[in-house]
Amino acid sequence: MAIINQATKELQVKIVYYGPGKGGKTTNLEQVHANVKDVQEKGKLVSLATSSDRTLFFDFLPIEAMAIKGFKTKFQLYTVPGQVIYNTTRQLVLRGVDGIVFVADSQYEKMSENVESFQNLEENLISQKLNIAHIPYVLQYNKRDLPNVAPVEYMEFLLNNREVQVPSFTSVAAKCEGVFETLNMITRLLLNKFINESARKSA
Amino acid sequence: MTGLPQLIQEDIQCLDDALGELLERSEATAALIIDKGGPLICQRGDLERYDTTTISALAAGSFCATQAIAERCGEINFSTIYQQGDHTSLLLRNIDENLLLIVLFRAALSVGAIKFYGDVTVDRVATQIQKAQQRAPGETVDLVSLNVVDASEVFRKGS
């Protein structure tokens, strides 16, 4: 859960970008880092990657933005390594997660990897006694500029076919299309969740 | 896994004092208390020299990864990582289920002394966190009255 420090009027939230390997998670963070404006503080983008540019441990981008007046709101954006062999690492990075952006690869041949990765996310959350139904998340259908993409309706059927549907966005992360819309939506869901929980407790 | 309790001014003051005392006694350069998920909770010392937000995220990942390795080697009581540097060394020490202590110190200093004083700090912090947990189990800060800005505009793309 988010770290709320009432003494210093500070709120820290952790958002994890999850999804199959080479789906564009790191690209999302790179675009946020390169293009974000008017934030209070933007840290360095730290990438722990292999020589072939695959994320080995995680990417990390701290940003401080004005989300709640009077509260310093610190967003910590992480990615996980997408490759199947790095599952223990994904579990470690998910520790203390507040919100998730699931970045799916829109290419037809990647659909099974998308579904596997989403199931893996659910399993890893359960291993930390968390339930996907209780964590704010959004879906991002990336690489929409490629010729062999699956229709959005089909991706919705595969990944968003639930009792309560979550917001989903099409994107071309490499061109920064859909990146900020996705980030702002997960921010909105997170803030609403905090406020609703507080309201329930004080009722 | 129970989460970090709501910390009030009294808790933060206690944590801050504990870190101040650690720095004074050990002559370490900086000391941090972090959550195992990565966020920084409290820090003291010569902070201008370090990017403590990033160090916190990396240290949390490093500690949890090394702990997972230790468990796979049959070590269940893993508690400390010591990174020996040429100029600056670092000690990472488990506090409780949720927190870690990071101490940055000149490599010339004795790591034994840092561990000794670090253990005193760990006990003091752990005791205060227990108090916070007992004070209000499961309670979070009331955010109902907070003034949330338009969430569609929190992050804006430059032209």
Tell me the pTM. Answer: 0.90
Q: Which residues of B touch A199 (CB under 8 A)?
A: 144
One DSSP character per residue, A167-183 reads: PEEE-BGGGTBSHHHHH
Of A38, A57, A188, the CB nearest to B156: A38
Q: How many angstroms separate the CA of residue A168 from the nearest CA in chain B? A: 15
B1 in a structural domain: no
Structural domain boundaries, residue B62: 9-153
Could you tell me which CATH class the domain A3-202 is placed in? alpha beta
CA distance A151 to A74: 36
Q: Is the pLDDT of residue B142 over 70?
A: no
Bridge partner residues of B34 (DSSP) = B40, B100
Q: What is the pLDDT of residue A16?
A: 97
B4 in a structural domain: no
pLDDT (tens digit per residue) in B20-36? 999 999 999 999 999 99
Q: How many angstroms separate the CA of residue A109 from the nearest CA in chain B? A: 31
Low-confidence ranges of chain A (pLDDT < 50): none
B159 in a structural domain: no
**Shortest CA distance from A194: residue in chain B:** B143
Q: What is the pLDDT of residue B145?
A: 56
Question: With an 8 Å Cβ cutoff, is A70 touching chain B?
Answer: yes
Q: Which residues contact A62 (CB under 8 A, 6 or more apart)?
A: A41, A42, A43, A74, A75, A76, A77, B53, B54, B57
Question: With an 8 Å Cβ cutoff, is A32 touching chain B?
Answer: yes
Count of domains for chain B: 1
Q: What is the pLDDT of residue B149?
A: 67
ipTM score above 0.85: no
CATH number for B29? 3.30.450.30
pLDDT (tens digit per residue) in B62-97? 999 999 999 999 999 999 999 999 999 999 999 999
B106 in a structural domain: yes
Q: What is the pLDDT of residue A15?
A: 97
Domain extents in chain A? 3-202
Which of A192-196, B2-6, B43-47 has the highest average model confidence (pLDDT)? B43-47
Top pLDDT among B59 and A48 is at B59
Q: What is the pLDDT of residue A125?
A: 96
Q: What is the pLDDT of residue B1?
A: 47
CA distance A2 to A156: 29
Top pLDDT among B98 and B82 is at B82
CA distance B53 to A148: 41
Q: Which residues of B touch A76 (CB under 8 A)?
A: 38-39, 53, 57
- Identify whether the C-beta of residue A49 lies closer than 8 Å to the C-beta of residue A57: no
Contact between chains at B39 and A12 (C-beta distance less than 8 A): yes
Contact between chains at B156 and A95 (C-beta distance less than 8 A): no
Mean pLDDT of B102-114: 97
Q: What is the pLDDT of residue A48?
A: 87
**Shortest CA distance from B140: residue in chain A:** A198
CA distance B98 to A31: 32
Which of A2-6, B6-10, B48-52 has the highest average model confidence (pLDDT)? B48-52
B146 in a structural domain: yes
Contact between chains at A188 and B51 (C-beta distance less than 8 A): no
Q: Which residues of A touch B39 (CB under 8 A)?
A: 3, 12, 14, 74, 76, 96
Q: What is the pLDDT of residue B143?
A: 52
Q: Is the pLDDT of residue B147 over 70?
A: no
